[in-house]
Amino acid sequence: MSDKTFAGNYFEDFRIGQVLNHATPRTITTGDVSMYTALYGTRFAVNSSDEFARAIGLERSPVDDLLAFHMVFGKTVPDVSLNAVANLGYANGRFGAAVYPGDTVTTTSTVTGLKQNSNGKTGVVYVNSVGRNQRGEMVLDYTRWVMVNKADSEAPEPEVVVPDLPKAVPADELVLPDMTMSGYDRALAGSDFVWGDYEVGERIDHVDGMTIEEAEHQLATRLYQNTAKVHFDQFAANSGRFKRRLIYGGHIISLARALSFNGLANAFKVLAINAGSHANPTFAGDTIYAYSEVLDKIELPGTSDVGALRLRTVATKDRPAGDFPYKGDDNKYDPSVVLDFDYTVALPR
């Protein structure tokens, strides 16, 4: 057989310091924005209306921050996680320049950590990925870690290296576009609640639920050019643990973010991804609910009309989020918890 195809990297193919320049730059279009809205029903005004965005000093409506995240992430999959068992977590994610329709994103990753699992058949790979626009400006810089299969279980175990990652992105590293809140219309945004109305420790039940259809998560993952086998190949899934295709974890992040509009409508921009865990797998037919807890209130340097909230958004499947322990006495996640996501958002003051 021809050797011109690429079967993806396996755990033993990665090296500390290895730089992966990912293929297929992606120009993000208004069509991508429309598809993203159709998939998740996101309603944040700044991402929905050019006029609303211009009223606060932006050139027009930027694409949803998580759409930019998925596009940057998708570039990495063929080189990092084509042979993944599961994506495990995120940390130290900083959003930079706003992305607008017509911008082109590219991604480069650096391997920063390796740890073989005790079964000898898989290992965890840590990568720092940086997405840039056509002007070379950073649009997203984040670390993720993923469990990857070994092609040869007898391949030597690498030295264990686990990067030291901060618990949260510090305030002085958060990037806020130039804007003014004097033109921010709360009525059009959908809520009167601004930064000062939230308290640390407050929990917000986002109430609404959204059931995932098979076609939706397939379309979403294709939209991001995420080629991971676990999302597409049912024939391969038949011999796996679950016998079903897994839903891309980022799909759940976007659903949870969209659901959070009910209670956080003025959280108009994602500034950082501090940490994230896909606690349990999700499949088509599951109904996703979410609640958020305010972990911290942050004063942003250089502005008096915008503040930040550090949030923990917990998404559940087939169980309204409400007020229940998402971890048991053994510190393990309840089986209904599918996402534990720690991130920072901007709100008007």
Of 3.40.1800.10, 3.10.129.10, 1.10.3720.10, 3.30.870.10, the CATH number of 11-348 is 3.10.129.10
d(CA 264, CA 287): 21
C-alpha distance across the termini of the chain, in Å = 63
d(CA 130, CA 142): 7
What is the pTM for the complete model shown? 0.94
Other CB atoms closer than 10 Å to residue 42's CB: what's the count?
A: 21
Per the model's pLDDT, the better-predicted residue between 237 and 193 turns out to be 193
pLDDT of amino acid 339: 95
Q: Where are the domains of the chain?
A: 11-348
The stretch 69-88 carries a mean pLDDT of 92
Residue 324 confidence (pLDDT) above 80: no
Average pLDDT value over all residues in the chain: 94
pLDDT of amino acid 85: 86
Residue 1 confidence (pLDDT) above 70: no
d(CA 191, CA 13): 50
Q: What would the pLDDT profile of 162-171 be if each residue is shown by its tens digit?
A: 999 999 999 9
Residue 82 confidence (pLDDT) above 90: no
Residue 2 confidence (pLDDT) above 70: no
The stretch 276-296 carries a mean pLDDT of 95
Indicate the SS3 state at residue 198. coil
pLDDT of amino acid 36: 98
Residue 26 confidence (pLDDT) above 80: yes
pLDDT band at 86 (very low <50, low <70, confident <90, very high): confident
Structure tokens at 175: 């990037």
pLDDT band at 229 (very low <50, low <70, confident <90, very high): confident
Question: Residue 141 in contact with residue 128, Cβ under 8 Å?
Answer: yes
Residue 97 confidence (pLDDT) above 90: yes
pLDDT band at 254 (very low <50, low <70, confident <90, very high): very high
